[in-house]
Structure 1
Amino acid sequence: MFETIAGILSTSAMTALWALASLLATGLPYAKHNRSLKRRRSLLLAISCAALLIGAFWYALNIRLLVQSGWLFVEGTFKTAVPLLLILHVYGSIVTVRRLIGLGESNKQSLTRETWLKAAAPAVPLTCYALTLASGIAFAGTVIAQPIQPDLFDIAMRPALAALLLAVPAIFVRRRYRMGLNGGNLVGSRRSRIVKFAGAALLTAMAAVAIVVVNAVLGVQSSRLPEASDMMNHANMDEGGGTPTRMAGSEHHHGHSGGERASANSAPMAEVAALTGDLTAPADRKFELTARQSKIALASGARIDAWTYNGEVAPVLRVRQGEMVEVKLVNEDVEAGVTIHWHGYNVPNAMDGVPGMTQNVVKPGQSFTYKFRAEQAGSYWFHSHQQASEQVSKGLFGALIVDPAQETEKADEEVILINHRWKTDKGRVNAFGTEDGERRKKVEPGTRMRLRVINTDKLSRKYLLQGADYRIADIDGVPIEEPGLIADRTAFRIGGGGRYDVVFTMPDRPVLFKLGDDRDADDPTVVFYPDIPPANPTFQADSGLFDPSDYGKGVANELTTAEKFDREFEMILGNKMGFYNGKFTMLWTINGEVYPHVPTLVVQEGDKVKTTFANKSLAEHPMHLHGHHMTVLKKNGERVKTPWQTDTLNVLPGESYEVAFVADNPGMWMDHCHNLDHAATGMILHLMYDNVLPSYEVGTRSGNLPD
């Protein structure tokens, strides 16, 4: 993150300084006498040297980023911004600065024609103009339009744009110089200078506006989502360097008939709708969830216009491992329609709850029944995947708790804490369920407590547990082997969509748990006390942050020992300003693109698949792969001490991770950022098994609108 902030500051400072230098360089020939010219020249030299020093710092910053984080983080910058700036900096240092040195005399005499011609030489102002544009391009490459894995067109486009914008001022300064060479008026009247300057500025601005308008018109049109598609990017499929498949580049995936065609691995073709798993066994547990609009009040009295399942905030479905589970979803009055996605639970593809990919949206008056065997124990949650950025925010979520078939360390008591940020009539409010203040619970000393902490928010959240040492027993439903004691006052952070199971033994003193830092007095708190509740419980500043990459006994599986993977993918997470579905917004990109232009990842059943996440954007991204758990192998290029498994990996700015999974759950799966606002503007791609065909369509025609 330091490199990103420093890059923004340095490139913006360079742009501002070279813009100021451009004004001074343009005004050199209009000095009244030699002494004035010398003062202007000295100031111009000082500003240019300052800009060059900042440029040197920027180069060093990018070299440091290359060494620390790798080529994926700097490739776009090194291919687009660095060459242009470096050439201009060298030219400006050697040629332009040399022209300025010695310009002007110490007397007050008017400028001679020879001195005027030196001051009016086009090389100095044009170099300053070019450096202003090149610095602006470098700034834009950090904030506005990050270059990600640029091709030759992307590389050539930036100097071409700079040359186009330089055309008008170049004509004016060269014309002025030629007039001086031909004996014309050296200075002209103030009015004529103002008119010429205004004319040049106006023409340059018109050229810039024309470029912006053309890009805006093209952006609006090209960004509109199709009325209907099957979500796969068939024109751009990434096979990760693995065995070629028949799906990539073939016409087979466009049809909806399964037939007996076979893919390259001879697996029979199947439609998504047929990937239901074995449904013949009777259900051991049945539930019905009715989606409806509701009025909900938090403990503080703040009121919410919510959408809920069964009129409740975060209903809990509890089952035992191995049971066959059946959940009937009924939509009472949510006009846009609803679904249920089982977040982190590796259900058969047809039960995954993604409208337009694994089912049609459930419209008002309709129902859909999900059925799957609860193979995984642990803490999970469920939520609607129809316009999820809105529907999850409004309350369409709940907890899925799967108790293990054989409990090894059963807790005496447990508390489910679903952290959510609500939009209420009193503004945005954080809460555990509906508890947005202090909650108190009496617990006998010696009681073994389990806190199931689920973060349904779009951002990662920090949590404090103070008054007892504790253990992180599970991450995203997967048990940690030999979890060690974590010292009191050590905080932990959970990414959006993630879950931690926290266990501790109740001491003979209060134990405090809260969301946020010790200074965040408005965030919800739970006070566990043995006898008398404390009058004014206070939190201390945390002493450190839990790191899952060095905790317990690491996962050991075929992925942690693999020397070679069948397929390897790279996901560079970036950002740029642009249009999405006709609206101008900040785009959060994968490999420089947003859905539906992001490549579809193609795998074959049984493949060992490695993915590298590299976050060069300005925000964190909790990356969530449906239908599979990822094993984390490396962080920032170094092997983690204790590999762990997760379904939602939070990647901070400047971080990179290598993760791997086994392709053992055939289907078409979403792989997206679980900051659902990012997903809603296209930070989505799809994982596709090469023998699977689509059964549904997405778009306004069907009403299937997933994010």
Structure 2
Amino acid sequence: MEDNLYRFILLLALAGTILGLISGITAAWLPYLRSAKSVRRASSFLLLLAGLALAAGLLTDAAYIGIGIRGSWWAVEGMALTVLPLLLAVQLGVGLLTMPRLARLRRMPEEEIVRSDVLADPWLTVPLLAGAAGSGLHLVRQLFAQPVLPGLTEIILSQGLACLLAGIPLIMARRRHRLVLAGRGRRKAWQRLLKHTGFVVAGAAVVMAVFVVYVVAGGSASKLPEAYDMMNHDGLDEGGGPPTQLAARGEHAGHGAAHSGAGVEVAELTGDISAPADVRFELTAQRTELTLASGAKVEAWTYNGEAVPELRVKEGQMVEVVLANRDVEAGVSIHWHGYDVPNAMDGIPGMTQNAVKPGESFRYKFRAKQTGTYWFHSHQQSSEQVEKGLFGRLIVEPAEEPSPYDVEETIVLHRWKTDRGYRTAFGLEDGTRTLPIPSGRTVRLRIINTDNLSAAYLLQGTLYAVTAIDGTPIRQAALLPENTSFQIGSGGRYDLTFRMPGGPVYLKAGAADDPEGPVLVLSPDNDAPAPVFQPPSGSFDPGSYGLAAENGVTTKTAKFDREFRMIFGNRMGFYNGVFHFLWTINGRVLPDTPTFVVKEGEKVKMTFVNRSLAEHPMHLHGHHMTVLKHNGKRVATPWITDTLNVAPGDTYEVGFVADNPGMWMDHCHNLYHAATGMILHLMYDGVRPSYEAGTRSGNLPD
């Protein structure tokens, strides 16, 4: 519901801008009309446009009120406090000043209707132009600079800008009215411009100077510090819960004191790893040239020189992985995506370890307690390193149980940068691959999306069930209707199961009519015809599938110890000295994003609100989230995930139990968004940092 309302609001802002400009310019030409007939015709046209503009404004108000009534007031609070006052003032002006005057114009006698002083009345023009300015400001803020949780300064500045935008046409209209009364209102445009050339040049110089100052100051102020620890934030958010020692020390003695005193360091949070390893792997990060099935070449960085290596272990085993770095100069790490390892094994340079530089190594060791489909990747400059190939598969099988499936296939979707441009592939297969499977066999497909964007999939030729999401099994997973599509966000994983039919089964990433994208053909006779995909009949909804997850946060009476909210926006600005299109959390980017502080054992609720123009797959390290509500409504079957894709306009409420002490990243898994600061941290009370991030240490996590 909310996503449609947000799109509707955008359309209304665009319509209000266009209608205001057309009507304002038309009203400005009224004094130049010679006949009463022309004036009446123009007045009728203006009355219609003004009515439509007013209707657009009133519908905008109603949409915001509707969102607020549905329990999401704080999702629109920023716009309501910074832009809506101007829109309301303009609506009053159009409704009470402009439209009555236009209506009177149509009834005036001919000798009065053509009088220049009447037609140059500022209140015929100003509200319409102010409406265009207000709607334009509204549109720009919606697209490029959403106000989120605004402070008093931002509210005052926004109202000042709004008054300036509305005041400019008022000053111009009043001046022209005086000129018309003095008989000098018909001066040609080029004459007016020539007269005020000095003013125009001076104004342009001021604008240019302000722009230069903005570029220099903004670029300098956005530079990340040479050295910082990952807890060094301006805002510690306790989520409305009981006071924490961490926040108290930080508030009363500065951030440095918050890192000292009693507690445990991140480096000590290894879990019990005293037992010898049951399985041991060695992974070497190195530069490699890969070749896709099409022949396209990839200048890749890989583990062990291969694309998407697999680590397969059994539940309960002690796993040891030794990471070495042969020649990746920036350093590397391994983050176990979706696997809730102890904090010191999470693989975040500057937070849980130092980056592994060329010639160095690091040992990861943890007990395999979760079964399912997972993956691993470097978290050092991950926007670049994951794209180049520093990732692999982690499959954890049940300890004693034999697999109930005859055939298993793990499919990893990735977008490679090649010598032929970007190519999307299943592993290295960027075309069609055929896999022979006899009919009657039970099949499990493990699908992993390592791309930065979500991907839609079609599995056609059989009925199938989604038996796990992000490694967590779904109880009583039923067969979905024929031609049901499904979508996996960046970092997400689905397990699909079915019985192989007598004919071929086709899996495709992308739209049915998209000729690009990889295709997997499962064929009982290895001689399947070319795939022809049908448009999907519906889309899989995990919120109404199988049995609901049951844990400490799913009951309707569950009480949360802390509640946090994350509002996603976008704006133009600098990050680390470079001008970017920024993706923000609560209006800020790292290191100014808040740090969420919790205590071990607490029940925590997070609310994600996407007010930006893009989807954001939110990934919380070290924990699994249970999805409780979508767009204000409780989902029928809460499900468990570690990477939740939040589409534009969407709102989700998720809950989890704080049962894994440490310092944890919570970030957008579109890694380009994370690289420009769409990151915050979940911090346990009593945990102290062990490492330093920044260029001095070479630890550069994103």
| Range into which the TM-score falls when normalised by the shorter chain | over 0.9
Q: Which amino acid aligns with 2:339?
A: Y
Offset of 1:425 from its aligned partner? 1.6
Q: Which amino acid aligns with 1:246?
A: Q
- TM-score in terms of structure 2 length: 0.93
For residues 130 and 185 of structure 2, what CA distance do their matches in structure 1 show? 25
Q: Does 1:148 align with 2:148?
A: yes
1:641 is paired with a residue whose SS is strand
Offset of 1:525 from its aligned partner? 1.6
Q: Does 1:508 align with 2:507?
A: no
Q: Which amino acid aligns with 1:451?
A: L
Q: Is the 8 A contact 1:286 1:325 kept in 2?
A: yes
**Unaligned runs of at least 5 residues, structure 1:** 263-268
- 1:439-454 equivalences under 5 Å are 439-454=433-448
> Which residue in the other structure is 2:285 paired with?
291
Offset of 1:503 from its aligned partner? 1.4
Q: 362-371 vs 379-388, which deviates more?
A: 362-371
Q: Is the 8 A contact 2:489 2:645 kept in 1?
A: yes
Count of paired positions = 697
> Which residue in the other structure is 1:122 paired with?
122
Q: Which amino acid aligns with 2:63?
A: L
> Which residue in the other structure is 2:641 paired with?
646
The counterpart of 2:469, out of the listed 461, 466, 475, is 475
% identical equivalent positions: 53
For residues 17 and 258 of structure 1, what CA distance do their matches in structure 2 show? 57
CA shift digits 1:466-501 (9 cap, x unpaired): 222222221111111222222332221111101111
Q: Does 1:705 align with 2:693?
A: no
> Which residue in the other structure is 2:598 paired with?
603
CA shift digits 1:590-635 (9 cap, x unpaired): 1121111111000011111011111122111111000011111112
Q: Is the 8 A contact 2:94 2:127 kept in 1?
A: yes
For residues 256 and 323 of structure 1, what CA distance do their matches in structure 2 show? 40
- 1:542-561 equivalences under 5 Å are 542-561=536-555
**Unaligned runs of at least 5 residues, structure 2:** none
- Distance change >3 Å, CA 234–CA 186, structure 1 → 2: closer
1:593 is paired with a residue whose SS is coil
> Which residue in the other structure is 2:222 paired with?
223
Q: Is the 8 A contact 1:635 1:657 kept in 2?
A: yes
2:246 is paired with a residue whose SS is coil
1:248 is paired with a residue whose SS is helix
2:637 is paired with a residue whose SS is coil
Offset of 1:203 from its aligned partner? 6.7
Q: Does 1:395 align with 2:389?
A: yes
CA shift digits 1:179-238 (9 cap, x unpaired): 556x56454466534446877777776666665555444432332222211122432111
For residues 508 and 253 of structure 1, what CA distance do their matches in structure 2 show? 69
For residues 491 and 179 of structure 1, what CA distance do their matches in structure 2 show? 66
For residues 658 and 446 of structure 1, what CA distance do their matches in structure 2 show? 41
Q: Is the 8 A contact 2:149 2:587 kept in 1?
A: yes
> Which residue in the other structure is 1:690 paired with?
685
For residues 48 and 205 of structure 1, what CA distance do their matches in structure 2 show? 32
Q: Does 1:633 align with 2:628?
A: yes
- Distance change >3 Å, CA 32–CA 445, structure 1 → 2: closer
Q: Does 1:351 align with 2:341?
A: no
Q: Does 1:622 align with 2:613?
A: no
Offset of 1:340 from its aligned partner? 0.6
Q: Is the 8 A contact 1:465 1:488 kept in 2?
A: no
> Which residue in the other structure is 2:63 paired with?
61
CA shift digits 1:21-67 (9 cap, x unpaired): 33334444444565655555444434323322332333343344445
Q: Is the 8 A contact 2:618 2:646 kept in 1?
A: yes
Q: 199-208 vs 544-553, which deviates more?
A: 199-208
For residues 362 and 279 of structure 1, what CA distance do their matches in structure 2 show? 21
Q: Which amino acid aligns with 2:566?
A: M
Offset of 1:133 from its aligned partner? 1.9
Q: Is the 8 A contact 2:259 2:689 kept in 1?
A: no
Offset of 1:442 from its aligned partner? 1.7
The counterpart of 1:326, out of the listed 314, 320, 326, is 320
- TM-score in terms of structure 1 length: 0.92
Q: Which amino acid aligns with 1:603?
A: V
> Which residue in the other structure is 2:244 paired with?
245
Q: Is the 8 A contact 1:255 1:693 kept in 2?
A: no
- 1:7-156 equivalences under 5 Å are 7-31=9-33, 37-38=39-40, 40-67=42-69, 70-103=72-105, 115-156=115-156
For residues 390 and 287 of structure 1, what CA distance do their matches in structure 2 show? 24
- Distance change >3 Å, CA 177–CA 622, structure 1 → 2: same
For residues 665 and 243 of structure 2, what CA distance do their matches in structure 1 show? 22
> Which residue in the other structure is 1:569 paired with?
564
2:245 is paired with a residue whose SS is coil
CA shift digits 1:158-193 (9 cap, x unpaired): 220133345555444434444556x56454466534
For residues 126 and 116 of structure 1, what CA distance do their matches in structure 2 show? 16
Q: Which amino acid aligns with 1:440?
A: T
> Which residue in the other structure is 1:266 paired with?
none
For residues 654 and 356 of structure 1, what CA distance do their matches in structure 2 show? 33
Q: Is the 8 A contact 1:612 1:657 kept in 2?
A: yes
Q: Is the 8 A contact 1:35 1:104 kept in 2?
A: no
Q: Is the 8 A contact 1:339 1:353 kept in 2?
A: yes
RMSD over equivalenced CA pairs, Å: 2.7
CA shift digits 1:546-600 (9 cap, x unpaired): 1111122211111112521110111112222222222222211111211111110
Q: 543-552 vs 186-195, which deviates more?
A: 186-195
> Which residue in the other structure is 1:265 paired with?
none
Q: Which amino acid aligns with 1:77?
A: M
For residues 464 and 179 of structure 1, what CA distance do their matches in structure 2 show? 68
CA shift digits 1:643-698 (9 cap, x unpaired): 21111111112221111111111110000011111111111110000111111111
- Distance change >3 Å, CA 701–CA 541, structure 1 → 2: same
For residues 109 and 189 of structure 2, what CA distance do their matches in structure 1 show? 23
> Which residue in the other structure is 1:433 paired with?
427
Offset of 1:258 from its aligned partner? 7.7
Q: Is the 8 A contact 1:96 1:124 kept in 2?
A: yes
Q: Which amino acid aligns with 1:125?
A: T
